[in-house]
Amino acid sequence: MRVLVWNEFRHEKSKPEVAEIYPDGIHGAIADFLQSEQIEVRTATLDEAEHGLTEEVLNQTDVLLWWGHVAHDEVRDEIVAKVHKRVLEGMGLIVLHSGHFSKIFKQLMGTTCDLKWRVADEKERLWVIDPSHPIVEGIGEYIELEKEEMYGEHFDIPAPDQLLFVSWFEGGEVFRSGCTYQRGKGRIFYFRPGHESYPTYHNSQIQRVIKNAVKWVKPESGMMTNYGRSEPLETISDKELK
């Protein structure tokens, strides 16, 4: 399986406290724990040519992970269109944290994807809502994060196909933190945690969820569809309108 971790990669360059947590970038941290014998991981970032998302790269990608925050608008529309096309063709997509406001996620959802937020060093507890889903395998009842950014309802998304996590926040809010969607032939998983100023992607349970999700969103083989004008499969009677 070929996985591509895409990161905006701006905070790590401009904020020393982020660079300290993620010296190789958020993409580097994620690539590091995903790499295995079964999974070939590459990374791409916003400031590379074509954001590192050439058609060739996309065509060789089974699963794409997406982290962005301050520079969603700098992602070029024609690149987003290529990613969108690939998802509908079957490429799996995992949208992380502030990626909820990325062009690609909004285009796939059709809604504003807006939410409440607050950065206040508060506790988050992600409760498992669907304990037998492959994405939560090995997680137990909940994941506790000592400090995270808060995201609160209402989250303006289509009702998820499957709701896997709901977060409890110390400051009093809740949030649908793990959501799956099918769009075209592609599977999508949105996973809430991962603010750049906290070491969330170093948490082993968070890593487990992302590893499980990579396996779950990967495309099936042997998918087939035909569209457009079609010859009838049965004889159509000659008739007069009554």
Among positions 163-222, residues that touch a second copy (CB under 8 A) are 163, 166-174, 176, 181-187, 199, 219-222
| Binding positions for a second copy, 11-50, rule CB under 8 A | none
Q: Which of 92, 80, 173 is nearest to 125 (CA)?
A: 173
Q: Which is nearer to a second copy, 16 or 232 (CB)?
A: 232
| Binding positions for a second copy, 116-145, rule CB under 8 A | 116-118, 120-123, 125, 127-134, 137-141
Q: Which is nearer to a second copy, 109 or 214 (CB)?
A: 109
Q: Which is nearer to a second copy, 49 or 224 (CB)?
A: 224
73 binding a second copy? (CB under 8 A) = no
Of positions 14, 37, 49, 241, contacts a second copy by CB under 8 A: 241
Q: Which is nearer to a second copy, 2 or 147 (CB)?
A: 147
Q: Which of 5, 11, 135, 3 is nearest to 66 (CA)?
A: 5
| In the block, residue with structure tokens 């099918």 | 182
In this structure, what DSSP letter does residue 210 have? H
Buried b (16+ CB within 10 A) or exposed e, 53-75: beeebbeebbbbbbbbbeebeeb
Contacts of 152 (CB under 8 A, 6+ apart): 115, 116, 117, 118, 169, 173, 174, 175
77 binding a second copy? (CB under 8 A) = no
